[in-house]
Chains A and B, each alone.
Chain A
């Protein structure tokens, strides 16, 4: 039985490579058929904001990669509801419809459920 892995992505999309690296770890885990979960926490929820435009910064858009996660077998997607609310994002209109909105208490239980956790 492979060990399950939870990635906690808590960096905003355009401030550096962290958001993309977290996604790479998730996709790599998915490719090896590990049970992988991805939680967007703190500024990480900005990765799910609508209508971002990476061209202004001459970068590649991350949101297309996020949409592809279920295709790579990563279905366990979670968003911290408090982080989204504090940042003025409506959890109902985030760009990743599959993501479940969790309360702080539910996040504690989520982390508890996985064998290993990586926060990026």
Chain B
């Protein structure tokens, strides 16, 4: 059973990202939305961690664009229709509220 993990909080404010990376499986994916997109800020601890993990990693285009975040080649930029498709493709969605 595959899971799409959805993060929307800043990786600098709490340990949701750390916990998520601890439990995420090889078949799972991680979607960064809202302030979670700040994890793609180059030169930071979250960025370096994500870059070495080889995850199925997605980020919402609007949220990256608003924050002037360039997407590295190990992450895929998606729009809202693609977000819907992802939530159907994976067996379940885990939103880290």
Binds A, one of B20-28, B39-47, B88-96: B39-47
**Is A56 within 8 A of B34, CB to CB?**
no
**Is A43 within 8 A of B13, CB to CB?**
yes
Q: How many A-B residue pairs have CB under 8 A?
A: 54
Which residues B25-75 have CB closer than 8 A to chain A?
34-35, 38, 41-45, 47, 61-63, 65-68
Binds B, one of A30-38, A47-55, A109-117: A47-55
Number of interface residues of B (CB under 8 A): 19
Overall SS of chain A's interface = loop
**Is B65 within 8 A of A15, CB to CB?**
no
Contacts of B38 in A (CB 8 A): 12, 43, 46, 87
Contacts of A43 in B (CB 8 A): 10, 12-13, 35, 38
Bound form: Cα–Cα A55–B67 in Å: 11
Contacts of A88 in B (CB 8 A): 41-44, 47
Contacts of B43 in A (CB 8 A): 88
Residue of A nearest to B45 (CB): A86
Bound form: Cα–Cα A57–B65 in Å: 9
Bound form: Cα–Cα A75–B43 in Å: 31
The residue that B68 contacts in the complex, of A12, A15, A53, A86, with Cβ under 8 A, is A53
Encode A7-20 as 1/0 by CB contact (under 8 A) with B: 00000101100000
**Is B62 within 8 A of A57, CB to CB?**
yes
Bound form: Cα–Cα A52–B13 in Å: 20
